[in-house]
Every structure is written in C-alpha cells, then in structure tokens.
Amino acid sequence: MIRENQAMIQPLRLGVNIDHVATLRNARGGRHPDPVRAARLAAMAGADGITAHLREDRRHISDEDITRLIGASDVPLNLEMAATAEMTAIALRHRPHAVCVVPERREERTTEGGLNVAGQRKNLEPVIRRLGDAGIRVSLFIEPESAQLEAAVAVGAPVVELHTGAYCEAIGAARDHELARLADAADRAAALGLECHAGHGLGYDTVGAVAALSPIVELNIGHFLMGEALFGGLDGAIRSMRALMDQARA
C-alpha cells in the first residue's frame, strides 16, 4: 500500500527566479551581483530550473542576461514574458526550455494578477502555437479559476502556472479559502490534462501547503529566496526551501 502511494507521488520541481539579483546589480549599474553566478549556485543547491522575467522596460533582467543564461546555465531556463511580438521574437531566437506567459503593466511593481486568457484569445493563440512549434514548453500564468483553466485549454496551452499571491498575502480564514481555491484549481487542471505549476510570493511559511497539492509539479520562487540570501546565503536559502517542499510532498 505504502509502495503504491509512493508510486503515485509526482516529483515537485523548484524553479528559482533570479530577477532580483539583477535588480540589485542594476541599482549601481555595474556587473555585480551577477544573475548567471546566482543561476549556477541555485542549480548546485537543488534548483531544477532557473526562471527569469525579461520585462518590456528591462528593469531587472537584461537581454544580455538572457543570452548568457542560455549559454552558461546547465539548468533549464523558464523565460517569463508578455505575449508581445518583441518578446516572442526573442524567445524564438533563444529557444529556452520553457516560456511562461505573464500579463505585464509598466506601472506595476511585480506581476499583480493572472492573464485574462479568454479575453486575449486572439493574441495568445498564435504566440502559444509558434513557441510550441519551436519546441518550447509554454505555460500561462493565471488566477486559480475554472474559467481561466478552460480558456487555457481552448487556446492550446499545455501548462498553467497558478498565481499564489492572494494565498500568500491572506491571513486566517481568508488564507484557508485561498488555499482551497488553489487546491480546486490544481485538481481541475489535472482533470483537463494541463500540467500544473504554481508561484508568486511563496516563502518558508507558505510553501508547504502548496507543495502538498499533488497535481502541482513545479513551483517558481524568487523574491523570498533572494531576501533570505542576504542573511544566510543563497545556497542555504534554496536548500531550506527545497527541504520544506520535499517534506510536504512526501
């Protein structure tokens, strides 16, 4: 029986988002700290992939960072990008392992909500098709809602990433409610045949409950890890996060 349960447990991958290594570097405009060095260290500490968001305004990750990450990192790159012609051309040129399509507004501090997939069907469909044809795994960053999951299937996306921001920010009963939304959405994604990822805002106190949702196979985590790295080092922060994920999944 135990063996059967173990066989059913899907491994949970950790994607480490290195955007804020670039944020710190850009504060002075030099070359230190280097996001590629952080990517290498993350891989050694147990990351299964590196995530980087190339924003329209290049506020953190730069075009050169993407070129260097593709060339130097020995872990798969998940490129976060808006579904624009410019970003699609960049992705097709570099052919990262994966692309996560996110909504983007210039004035936001971070990605504030999920994509309105149904409302953007005309724009998203050709982007997903072109990236998929190039062998890139495409995910859509969405709120944990049935309507968005169904729209993701309709536009041909193989993967969704559920926005965990509302869960991480909520307290008390509201947090339980947000966790239930994530659990329902993860089950619905699996029933629809979508690969399910999650991320945004996760830290040591919130990662366990999300990692315990068995349909989820990848978490993408950045800001908290970089903040923790200031106090105890990046290697230790990633290893601690990895251990919490593995514990919850087991």
Measure the CA–CA gap between 151 and 79, rounded to whole angstroms: 22
- Active site annotation includes 169: no
Is 210 near ligand PXP (CB under 6 A)? no
Give the one residue of 73, 88, 111, 206 binding ligand PXP; rule: CB under 6 A.
111
Give the three-state DSSP class for 164: coil
With respect to ligand PXP, which residue has the nearer C-beta, 38 or 102?
102
Let me know: does 163 contact 141? Beta carbons within 8 Å: yes
Interface with ligand PXP by CB under 6 A: which range of 36-44, 147-155, 199-207, 231-239? 199-207
Give the one residue of 25, 40, 53, 55 binding ligand PXP; rule: CB under 6 A.
53
Reading the block at residue 228, the tokens are 């923790």
Is 148 near ligand PXP (CB under 6 A)? no
- Active site annotation includes 80: yes
Smallest separation, CB 142 to ligand PXP (Å): 10
Smallest separation, CB 75 to ligand PXP (Å): 16
Is 100 near ligand PXP (CB under 6 A)? yes
Is 141 near ligand PXP (CB under 6 A)? yes
Let me know: does 151 contact 118? Beta carbons within 8 Å: yes
Is 140 near ligand PXP (CB under 6 A)? no
Nearest to 74 by CA among 31, 32, 34, 42: 42
- Restricting to residues 150-189, name those near ligand PXP by CB under 6 A: 161
Q: Give the list of residues 6+ apart from residue 99 with CB closer than 8 angstroms, or none.
A: 78, 79, 80, 81, 91, 131, 136, 137, 138, 139
Measure the CA–CA gap between 116 and 142, rounded to whole angstroms: 7
Sign of CA dihedral 200, 41, 35, 10: negative
Catalog residues that contact ligand PXP under the rule CB under 6 A. Answer: 17, 19, 53, 80, 100, 102, 110-111, 141, 161, 199-202, 220-224
Catalytic residues, by residue number, are 53, 80, 200
